Each structure stands twice: as structure tokens, then as C-alpha cells.
Amino acid sequence: CCCCNEVGCKPGADGDDSLYPIAVLIDELRNEDVQLRLNSIKKLSTIALALGVERTRTELLPFLTDTIYDEDEVLLALAEQLGNFTMLVGGPEYVHCLLPPLESLATVEETVVRDKAVESLRKISQEHSPVDLEVHFEPLVKRLASGDWFTSRTSACGLFSVCYPRVSSTVKAEIRQHFRTLCSDDTPMVRRAAASKLGEFAKVLELDYVKSDIISLFTALASDEQDSVRLLAVEACVSIATLLPQEDLESLVMPTLRQAAEDKSWRVRYMVADKFSETFVSLQISLCFNCIHSVLTIWLSDLCLLCPVSEQELVSDTNQHVKSALASVIMGLSTILGKDNTIEHLLPLFLAQLKDECPEVRLNIISNLDCVNEVIGIRQLSQSLLPAIVELAEDAKWRVRLAIIEYMPLLAGQLGVEFFDEKLNTLCMAWLIDHVYAIREAATCNLMKLVEKFGAEWAQNTIVPKVLGMANDPNYLHRMTTLFCINALSEACGQDITTKQMLPVVLKMSNDQVANVRFNVAKSLQKIGPVLDSNALQTEVKPVLEKLATDTDMDVKYFAQEAISDANVEQRLVQQAAFIFPADQTCCSLAGSQDRSEQRNTVVSITACNLMNSRIACTNPSQTVSFPNFFQPDLHAPVHSLFSAATQIEFDQTNE
């Protein structure tokens, strides 16, 4: 799809070495493999450096501008690269050369590409001189703003605020005019884009224009026919309110805000509720007492909706979504209002909401408990909390159950171990046999977090027996849950519990009649191996794995072999460690240590070295560039610093 431009360079064009970089790029961009094209685009800066600034301007950029027809993935990378290209085209003086390709990218269909192009344009706008901004940048914004296709007009919306502050007053007037036009565009997509930038644009405008232009646009957008536009206008309200002097707020902003708070679409009211604390804070600072009062009056009328006893009629279903938004912000209020006010005014509301029929409302209260905990302590709520939690835990919607499980560790931490054992433990165990896998999985993970919180001893007394009991369940899914729990818990529970209590159960399950259970036994053994002591590993685990490796089922065989080879490698590495540091006392004792976690540290470091070796293309790891060569300076240093160096390398490897 990409043909040569007037530069006329062909890949491999002989003789002229100077055309070389572009020729390579052209060739690469022709490749069928997108991944390859993507990688070439990501190395654009290298090509620009090879070309030098002048040829980057005269050859590379025109080529890129002409050939922007690739997949969105490639275009995204290109849009991002160009935002960092200023120095590569010769600095701020020439930065405007980057505008043509970014302009085309800002008009493509895919939102992600467009947004990235706009982001890059905003970035390089800062590097334009005021003159260049007027000569090159502003015309581009104008072209985009009057484009035929909505995508270019949408992109334009994000560019007004970055060029406005540094242009002459005539150009400023034009920019304001363009923004006005886009706010009344006939497609809702553009109006939404304009509405979402309204607050940002207001911030760079002179106060007089905020009052004359922005307020009228705000009012118009806030009464748009589409609620998706109206709610974005509400969002802008927060920044507009901070810009205006107090005396103007009542007349300019409040009528629209009140209207939004009573909008017929719950989405708009939801947004008002969502922005509640933000608006509240900004108004509190900037408003006189009178205004605060009037704001509160509006809010109180909506807050009334929260209280099912007060106005039964108002609690119709629509309000549930607004209610649930309010539920999430109302908790935040407690930090603003302080302890006494919270207990007096908010506590009754919390308690009422915990009994709300809508699970979202209850969830929102529970998920924000930490705010309240800081102010008044969770005990005030615990009596009402429990029934709410129990009911959510048994909700028919699995997503609701999932949400409450995820808050469990937080709740457990705040309510304390006693309360937990007494009231919540049974719930946590019941989730393990939920009929939805996602719940069982989350429940497993929950147990692990609880053990981390309450300690191994607690685990041994309360949950381990129950988990292990499930190994005899007639349902194989429940038996597998035992294995998954063991995988998750072994590390937190430590060597003793794992070896003495969990391991025998796992080993016994290797005779299960369901193949899925058997191969999960293999996986579990592999997983808990590092926690076990080497004696148990050799005498108990290995024979079982070897037996599984001859299983009739293909998958069981596969995972058993995986586990065996994993164990072998580890074994060998431990020996290797002893071999490499024969002279080092610490290391020898580590390698021979019965403490598996210390052995493992050694193994980790050596694995890192081996990875390093294989990376430098050494084909035979056994004859590898030996460990010390790699860490010459550290050779005689204490072993622990070696560990940290090696671990760091492994870390880098993982991140690469």
C-alpha cells in the first residue's frame, strides 16, 4: 500500500548510501507482518537520527504524511512517536513540520488513534513560538474544526485551549467563534466532544469572555436534546464555578445546576450526584454562606430520596441509580463534615441505605466503609452491616456476590478477627462451593488474603480443616477447589502446615478417578514444591509424580512431567550453586540448607544468570559463561549482594 514518493528511493538502491535509512523503512513498511511494521514505526527515532534533521524534514516526514494508510495499531504508534520528534526535526524552530502527518492522523476514524494524535499535537503546541502558533498551528485547528467528517471536528475540540493563551486578540476571537460553532454542531458526537472540553477551555479564557461566551454555551449544552451531552456540561460546571467571582455564581451557574439536579434523565442527575463532593468543595471555598445554603437545599431534596421512610412516593425506581451514585459520594462527606455531624446527620442515612432494596446502593456503602471508619469507627455500623453483607453474599447475581467477596479482606481487617470468625467465616467457606467458577476462584483468593491478614495459626484452626474436608466431596469441582485453595494458601501457611496437613491430602488425591483432579494434583505439587522441605520432596512427592507420569490420561502425564522436570531443574541448580561457590561458606550452607526459601533464593539468582547466558546466545547452558564471569566485580562480594544483583536482572528480564 505504500509507494515511493518523489524521493524515488528503492530498497536496496545501490550506490547511494545516504538514501539507505528511508529505503529500509519503506521496505519494512511493506512487509505483510503487522508486528514487523509496528516495530519499524517504533524505531522511527533511530531512522530520523540516521538521516539528520534536514533530511528528516524534507524526506522522512513527507514520506510519512503520504503513506498513512496502515492499520490503526501502526498509526497509533506513529501518532505517539511524532509527539516526541521536536528535537529530531531541528528543535522548536522547525516543530511545525510535524503538523501535516499529525493533522491526517487527527482525522482518522479510530478514536484511539485520533486521541493520540491530538495528545501529540497538544504536546508540540507548547514548543511552537507565538508566531508559528498563528502561522501554522491555528490554521490547522481551523481546518479540523471545519472538516466535513465529524472525526476531524471532534479532534479540533481538544486543541482550542492549548493555542488560545498565546495568540493575538483577533485570532482569539476566531478561536472563540469556532468553539461556539462546534458547541452547536449538528452531530451529537461533536457536541459531546465540545462539552467535554468546555471546562478546560473556560480556564484559559479571559473572565469577561467566561461570563459572556462560556456561560451561554454552558447553558445551551446543559439543555441539549441528548442527555449524553447534558451530563458532560454538568461535568464542566465544576471548573466553571471555580473561575467565577462569588457574586456571579448565583445568577450565572446556579440556575443551570439546579435544572440539572432536577433533570428528567437520571443519567444527568447521576452526574450531578457523582460530582457532588467536588462541587461541594469548590463551592464551599468560593461561596458565601448564603449560596452554600441554597446548594445544600437542592442536595437535601435529593438526599431525601435516600431515606425510604421520609417520602415514600419519591422512592420510585428511577432514583435507584441516582441513589447509588449518592451512596458512593455520601460516604466521602463524612470526612468533610467531621465526627459529630456525621453521627448526627449521616449515620441514619448510612443505616437506611444498608437496608436499601437495591444491591448497588448497599455495595456502594460497603465499598466506601474506610472513609467512615476513619471518622467514626466501624463499630457504629457493624450491627446493620452484617445483615447487609449476608444478603449481598447470597445475591442471585453472581457479579454482586463477586463484588462483596472482593471487599471481604478490607472488611475483615476493619471488623477484626473475632467478629469475622463469629459472623463471616461461614460465608467465606460457602463461596468455595458456589456454582459459578468466578466466585469459587475469587473465594480462593480471598482465603489467601485473609490468611495473610490473620496469620498461619488462625488458618490452621479455622479454614484449613474445612478446605481439606472438601477433598472427599462427591463433586469433583469441589475436590478441585481444595487443590486450588492449597495452591493459594501454601505459601501463606508456611512449610509446617503445608508438609504436615496439606501434602498428605494432595498425595491422596492423586488416585482420584477424575483426570482433571489428577492433573491438578500434579500442578499443585509443582506449585507447593518450593514450600516443602527437600526430604518430603524426594521421598513423598517424587514417587507420586512419577506414578502420574505414567497415567493413561495425556494431560495428567503432561503436567506430571512438567512438575518433575521443574523439580529436577531446581535440584540441579541448587547443586550448581554449591559448585559455583565452593569457597563461599555462606553459599555452601545456603545450598545445603534445609531451609527451602534460602535454597530458592540461590536458585533464583542462578536461574537469572542462566537466562542471561542464553540471551547472549550461548547455546549450551551447562558449559555456560560461568556465573562469576558475569558478576566480575561482585565475585568476592558477600553472597547476598550477588543475590540482589541477580534478582534485579531477573526482574529486568521479566519486564522486558
Interface positions, 54-83, toward other proteins (CB under 8 A): 71-73, 76-77
**What is the grid cell recorded at 428?**
467465606
Stretch of 104-112, 161-169, 375-383, 451-459 lying at the interface with other proteins (CB under 8 A): 104-112
In DSSP notation, 444-487 reads: HHHHHHHHHHH-HHHHHHHTHHHHHHGGG-SSHHHHHHHHHHHH
What minimum distance in Å lies between the beta carbon of 322 and other proteins? 11
What minimum distance in Å lies between the beta carbon of 317 and other proteins? 4
Cα 2 from chain centre: 36
In this structure, how many other beta carbons lie within 10 angstroms of the beta carbon of residue 134? 17
Instruction: Name residue, grid cell 514450600.
Output: 531
Residues 575-614 that bind other proteins (CB under 8 A): none
Q: 329: number of CA atoms within 13 Å, CB side?
A: 21
Quote the CA–CA distance of 54 and 48 in Å, as a whole number.
9
- Residue from 288, 345, 437, 637 touching other proteins (CB under 8 A): that is 437
What minimum distance in Å lies between the beta carbon of 67 and other proteins? 15
Q: By C-alpha distance, which of 192, 197, 133, 208 is closest to 167?
A: 133
Q: Cβ closer to other proteins: 16 or 225?
A: 225
Residues 501-540 that bind other proteins (CB under 8 A): none
**C-alpha pair distances (Å), 343 with each of 332, 377, 644:** 14, 11, 51
216 binds other proteins (CB under 8 A): no
616 binds other proteins (CB under 8 A): no
Quote the CA–CA distance of 270 and 276 in Å, as a whole number.
10
Quote the CA–CA distance of 225 and 372 in Å, as a whole number.
39
- Residue from 127, 227, 473, 491 touching other proteins (CB under 8 A): that is 227
What minimum distance in Å lies between the beta carbon of 461 and other proteins? 33
289-304 and 319-341 helices cross at what angle (nearest 10)?
130
What minimum distance in Å lies between the beta carbon of 550 and other proteins? 23
- Residue from 150, 209, 419, 458 touching other proteins (CB under 8 A): that is 150
Max Cα–Cα distance, the chain, nearest Å: 88
Quote the CA–CA distance of 545 and 562 in Å, as a whole number.
10
- Residue from 2, 4, 5, 20 touching other proteins (CB under 8 A): that is 20
39 binds other proteins (CB under 8 A): yes
35 binds other proteins (CB under 8 A): yes
- Residue from 10, 36, 255, 475 touching other proteins (CB under 8 A): that is 36
Please classify residue 502 by burial: count the beta carbons closer than 10 Å to its beta carbon, then call 0-12 exposed, 13-18 middle and 19+ buried. buried
Q: Cβ closer to other proteins: 379 or 615?
A: 615
Residues 297-326 that bind other proteins (CB under 8 A): 313, 315-318, 320-321, 324
Quote the CA–CA distance of 319 and 581 in Å, as a whole number.
71
Q: Cβ closer to other proteins: 397 or 572?
A: 397
Instruction: Name residue, grid cell 441539549.
Output: 224
**C-alpha pair distances (Å), 178 with each of 123, 234, 260, 630:** 21, 22, 26, 63
631 binds other proteins (CB under 8 A): no
**What is the grid cell recorded at 117?**
494524535
16 binds other proteins (CB under 8 A): no
> Which spans in 581-638 are helix H?
585-591, 596-615, 627-630
- Residue from 41, 68, 88, 222 touching other proteins (CB under 8 A): that is 88
403 binds other proteins (CB under 8 A): yes
Residues 383-402 that bind other proteins (CB under 8 A): 395-400, 402
What minimum distance in Å lies between the beta carbon of 80 and other proteins? 9
Q: 480: number of CA atoms within 13 Å, CB side?
A: 16
Q: Cβ closer to other proteins: 432 or 590?
A: 432
547 binds other proteins (CB under 8 A): no
For residue 624, give the DSSP letter: P
What minimum distance in Å lies between the beta carbon of 65 and other proteins? 20
Whether 292 contacts 283, CB under 8 Å:
yes
329 binds other proteins (CB under 8 A): no
10 binds other proteins (CB under 8 A): no
The radius of gyration of the chain from alpha carbons, rounded to an integer in Å, stands at 33
Residues 450-469 that bind other proteins (CB under 8 A): none
* Long-range contacts, 423-430 (Cβ 8 Å, 24+): 423/386, 424/389, 425/462, 425/463, 427/389, 427/390, 427/393, 428/463, 429/463, 429/466, 430/393
In this structure, how many other beta carbons lie within 10 angstroms of the beta carbon of residue 365? 26
What minimum distance in Å lies between the beta carbon of 484 and other proteins? 15
Q: How many residues are given for the chain?
A: 656
What minimum distance in Å lies between the beta carbon of 492 and other proteins? 25
Q: Cβ closer to other proteins: 184 or 212?
A: 184
196 binds other proteins (CB under 8 A): no
Q: Cβ closer to other proteins: 189 or 292?
A: 189
Continuous segment of H or E residues that includes residue 7: none
What minimum distance in Å lies between the beta carbon of 49 and other proteins? 4
430 binds other proteins (CB under 8 A): no
For residue 549, give the DSSP letter: T
Residues 123-142 that bind other proteins (CB under 8 A): none
For residue 148, give the DSSP letter: S
Residues 473-502 that bind other proteins (CB under 8 A): none
The SS3 assignment for 129 reads coil
**Residue span 264-303 as binding mask against other proteins, x where in contact by CB under 8 A, dash where not:** xxxx------------------------------------
Q: Cβ closer to other proteins: 84 or 624?
A: 84
87 binds other proteins (CB under 8 A): yes
Stretch of 285-293, 295-303, 338-346, 357-365 lying at the interface with other proteins (CB under 8 A): 357-365
Whether 323 contacts 305, CB under 8 Å:
yes
355 binds other proteins (CB under 8 A): no
148 binds other proteins (CB under 8 A): no
- Residue from 47, 118, 349, 408 touching other proteins (CB under 8 A): that is 47
435 binds other proteins (CB under 8 A): yes
Quote the CA–CA distance of 71 and 34 in Å, as a whole number.
8
Kindly determine how many residues on this chain lie close enough to bind other proteins according to the rule CB under 8 A.
76
237 binds other proteins (CB under 8 A): no
Q: Cβ closer to other proteins: 100 or 308?
A: 308
Q: Cβ closer to other proteins: 114 or 600?
A: 114
260 binds other proteins (CB under 8 A): no
Stretch of 45-53, 131-139, 334-342, 602-610 lying at the interface with other proteins (CB under 8 A): 45-53
Quote the CA–CA distance of 363 and 395 in Å, as a whole number.
11
